[in-house]
Amino acid sequence: MEISTEHVKSLREKTGCGMMDCKAALSEAKGDFEAAVDILRKKGVASASRRAGRVAAEGVVESYIHTGGKIGVLVEVNSESDFVARNIDFQGFVKDICLQIAASNPQYISRDEVPDGIISHESDILTTQARSEGKPEKAIEKILEGRLDKFYSEVCLLDQPFIRDPKIAIKDLLGALVAKIGENIVIRRFVRFQLGEKS
């Protein structure tokens, strides 16, 4: 059956789970919202959102230098315990995040970090583009929403498609790891250097 984007978003807001997990749960539940919530809870994914408020002060700082030494990345990823910081899944995730940053050059970790001025400027450009394409005025808001989502998927690390599997976003990858490990995990900060680039 057809699962609407709005239905998926509502489930995501209620559970804090990733979009792909929500869509899969709704499909499994044949569109039944409450049954989908139960499916996510049984899988342990829904509990990941409740862990988001817990303090994550352990973790690692990982580095990655791209072949040839043209691109370098430093990233800090935090966990609640030193035990998890030594976990092979956690370490694999951190290495993947380094590769993601090197390959996709995000500017921010999440949408919350994008300055209002940049969002406003981008919205103006995208709205003007939609009007110049002759889009109907009543559809522009919806078109703008979709195009802003695309903008976020380019500049925000958590919204980017995972380079190893573009069908899932980094935030979904993170949510799955939190559900599996049972601790809050936070991508705290990163820096990316490219040879010859002005700071």
pLDDT of residue 52: 55
Of 2, 59, 5, 64, which Cα lies nearest the Cα of 174? 59
pLDDT reading at 67 higher than 90: no
Token pair listed for 121 = 């400027």
Q: Which residue in the block uniquely carries the two structure tokens 């573009």?
A: 166
Alpha carbons 14 and 4: distance in angstroms, whole number: 16
- Quickly list DSSP for 5-61: HHHHHHHHHHH---HHHHHHHHHHTTT-HHHHHHHHHHHT-THHHHGGGS---EEEE
The residues near 81 (Cβ < 8 Å, ≥ 6 apart) are 58, 183
Domain 55-111+156-194 has CATH 3.30.479.20: yes
Q: Any idea where the domains of the chain sit in the sequence?
A: 5-50, 55-111+156-194, 115-153
Q: Are 175 and 18 in contact (CB under 8 A)?
A: yes
Fold of the CATH domain 5-50: Helicase, Ruva Protein; domain 3 (1.10.8)
The residue with greater pLDDT, 23 or 91, is: 91
pLDDT reading at 54 higher than 70: no
Asked if domains 55-111+156-194 and 115-153 share a fold, the reply is no
Per-residue pLDDT band at 50 (split at 50, 70, 90): low
**Dihedral sign, Cα of residue 109, residue 110, residue 115, residue 117:** positive
Domain 115-153 has CATH 1.10.10: no
When computed from its CA atoms, the radius of gyration of the chain, rounded to whole angstroms, is 19
86-120 residue pLDDT tens = 899 999 999 999 999 999 999 999 999 999 999 99
pLDDT of residue 31: 85
pLDDT of residue 75: 96
Token pair listed for 46 = 């829904």
Alpha carbons 20 and 39: distance in angstroms, whole number: 13
pLDDT of residue 160: 97
pLDDT reading at 62 higher than 90: yes
Amino acid at 109: I
What percent of the chain has a predicted confidence (pLDDT) above 70?
Answer: 88
Amino acid at 107: Q
